Structure 1
Amino acid sequence: MTVEHMIDSRRPGLDPDEPASVWTTASGAPERLVWRGRRFLVHSKPIPWIDRIEWWMLEQRVPRTAALPIEQRMWQVQIRAVDGGEILLIDLAADPDGTWRVTSVYD
């Protein structure tokens, strides 16, 4: 599967930044999460990666002397619903404040 195919296969109806409650291993990798009111377990080894933040799109202004974060910790994770549901491939964004967001869902 090419990257272009994966991007085109995003599921409709996904908000760009849906919040998720994520529990991690000691090393910080996601191991389970609650998203859209459903519980999921990580089904295979999560893949960490770094994304660039569109800093020019940020609503919050940063003082001139402050450092501006330009990188975002991301994880591509295969998850399975604990209620016996489907297996999904998602991208998770780990924010510096400890919150997590589902940014993409692939078929």
Structure 2
Amino acid sequence: MGMFSESVDVHCTASGQPLKLVWAGRPYTVCAEPVRWYERRQWWAEERRAPLGSGPGLVDHEIWRVQVRPEPDEAGEPLTLDLSRHLGSGRWRLLRIHDALHPKTA
């Protein structure tokens, strides 16, 4: 699994769920139901002070695990990616690329 942080453009449904994305200039379509969770961040090490009323996004990162296929052909094995959305700016980052699981052959 690769772990890094790279900007990615994400297009969402009206409810905020990832639907399509553009990564490294290539469009992808989400091909399975995404999963969302939150991870605690070290806000005390990253922020000088917490402005009054800045609770959402200060303590937790919103993370989405999505399976995507390249457009327009949408053929081949899907990629599994972890994306993070910064609640204040609405910007998305690609955090992890999961290795594909391939069945072992004899």
Q: TM-score of the superposition, structure 2-length normalised?
A: 0.77
Find the aligned partners of 1:61 and 1:99 in 2 and give their Cα distance. 21
Deviation of residue 46 (structure 1)? 0.4
Residue 77 in structure 1 maps to residue 69 in structure 2:
no
Q: Percent identity?
A: 34
Find the aligned partners of 1:42 and 1:64 in 2 and give their Cα distance. 36
Moved over 3 A (4+): 63-68, 83-86
| Superposition RMSD in Å | 2.0
Indicate the structure (1 or 2) with the bigger Cα radius of gyration. 2
Matches within 5 A, 1:1-107: 10-11=1-2, 16-58=4-46, 60-63=47-50, 67=54, 69-84=58-73, 86-96=77-87, 97-107=89-99
Structure 2 unaligned spans of 5+? 100-106
Structure with more helix by fraction: 1
Structure 1 unaligned spans of 5+? 1-9
- The count of aligned residue pairs is 94
- Please list the CA deviations of residues 8-39 of structure 1 after superposition, one character each: whole Å capped at 9, or x if unmatched: xx13xx5x210000000011000000011111
